[in-house]
Amino acid sequence: MKFVSFRHGGADRFGVFKKDAIVPLSEDADLKSLLAAGPAALQAAEKEAAQSTGPIALAHVELLPPIPNPGTIWCAGMNTHSHYDEAREHMKLHDKPAKPILFIRSTATLVGSGRNLEKPKLDPYFDYEGEIAIVIGAHVRNVAVDQAMACIAGYACFNDASARAYQLSSNQITAGKNAWRSGGFGPCLVTPDEVDLASMTMVCRLNGTEMQRMKIDDLIFGFAELVSFISEFTWLVPGDVIVTGSPAGIGALRKPPVLLKAGDTVEVEVSGVGTLVNGVQNQP
């Protein structure tokens, strides 16, 4: 199934995406609550969607991040072979990491598909990073790598847009990864049964021009390894998000650099999932 969270008639809802329309589900819950309720609740939601007679046209809603209120957004930095190699000389990198490099994004940074990212007023180096996000569907602690994939509720597109001047101002990258309304997330959450991992591909485009492309074998630490590692030191809970890593092609390392400006459009497409589309505007 393809789940979406959306705003319609002044109310925030969630539902199932079908044929350019949304089948709304329960008004008394959200998608994170549905995931927490377990497999039986997902099966009931599928049955409810199949029987619904009142879809809402996609053009009549505002898409929200699929999980508008994740408990934690974990992001894996420098987690593709291609990006690590392109950054090696610029950042004086040596051996690839033995463990995932992680940072956390704030929920306040998220915007859904169709909404604008905000370029920070005091940072001219605003950059795109197309990525695949995974969403957790269970309470997970100390899960083995070979069991970790069963803990994933679904996949989404993510643009980990970065304020590079803030990011590189110290050894702590948190400021550069938490600019207000800088994280595109969407357009939907697609359950694992609808995704072919063997052919899964992420493509990022800027104003229609392809800037990044990757298959998941470019990841240094794959989906299962990330889930397992994080669960070693903390609980993962339903609705938590793991943003898994961006490939080569970021704007800051191009010659000359290609940076985001007001009026740009960034698309992040993941095969089997959909396309996240975000414009860019200056911070008011």
List, for residues 194-231, the tens digit of each pLDDT value: 999 999 999 999 999 999 999 999 999 999 999 999 99
Q: In this structure, are 120 and 24 located in the same domain?
A: no
Domain stop point among 46, 63, 80: 63
Task: Give the model's pLDDT for residue 51.
Answer: 83
> In which band, very low, low, confident or very high, does the pLDDT at 19 lie, cut at 50, 70 and 90?
confident
Q: In this structure, are 35 and 72 located in the same domain?
A: no
For range 137-142, the mean pLDDT: 98
Number of neighbouring beta carbons within 10 Å of residue 54: 7
Q: In this structure, are 205 and 264 located in the same domain?
A: yes
Q: What token pair was written down for 111?
A: 């915007």
List, for residues 103-126, the tens digit of each pLDDT value: 999 999 999 999 999 999 989 999
> In which band, very low, low, confident or very high, does the pLDDT at 89 lie, cut at 50, 70 and 90?
confident
Q: In this structure, are 44 and 152 located in the same domain?
A: no
Burial 100-131 (b: 16+ CB within 10 A, else e): bebbebebebbbbbbbbbbbbeebebbbbbbb
Residue among 242, 241, 239, 243 at smallest CA distance from 32:
239
Q: What token pair was written down for 165?
A: 């001047």
Task: Give the model's pLDDT for residue 183.
Answer: 98
Q: In this structure, are 195 and 89 located in the same domain?
A: yes
What CATH number has the domain bearing residue 113?
Answer: 3.90.850.10
- Please give the residue range of the domain that contains residue 11: 2-63
For range 184-196, the mean pLDDT: 98
Instruction: Find where tokens 């370029």 sit.
Output: 119
Q: In this structure, are 27 and 73 located in the same domain?
A: no
pLDDT at 168 over 90: no
Q: In this structure, are 117 and 142 located in the same domain?
A: yes
Q: In this structure, are 70 and 38 located in the same domain?
A: no
Amino acid at site 108: A
Q: In this structure, are 177 and 95 located in the same domain?
A: yes
Three-state helix/strand/coil letters over the chain = CEEEEEEECCEEEEEEEECCEEEECCCCCCHHHHHHCCHHHHHHHHHHHHHCCCCEEHHHCEEECCCCCCCCEEEEECCEHHHHHHHCCCCCCCCCCCCCEEEEECHHHEECCCCCEEECCCCCCEECCEEEEEEECCCECCCCHHHHHHHEEEEEEEEECEEHHHHCCCCCCCHHHCCCCCEEEEEEEECHHHCCCCCCEEEEEECCEEEEEEEHHHECCCHHHHHHHHHHHCCECCCCEEECCCCCCCHHHCCCCCCCCCCCEEEEEECCCEEEEEEEEECC
Q: In this structure, are 28 and 145 located in the same domain?
A: no
Domain stop point among 63, 80, 95: 63
Q: In this structure, are 55 and 169 located in the same domain?
A: no
pTM to 2 decimals? 0.96
Distance between CA atoms of residues 116 and 278, nearest Å: 5
Count of domains for the chain: 2
Domain stop point among 39, 63, 87: 63
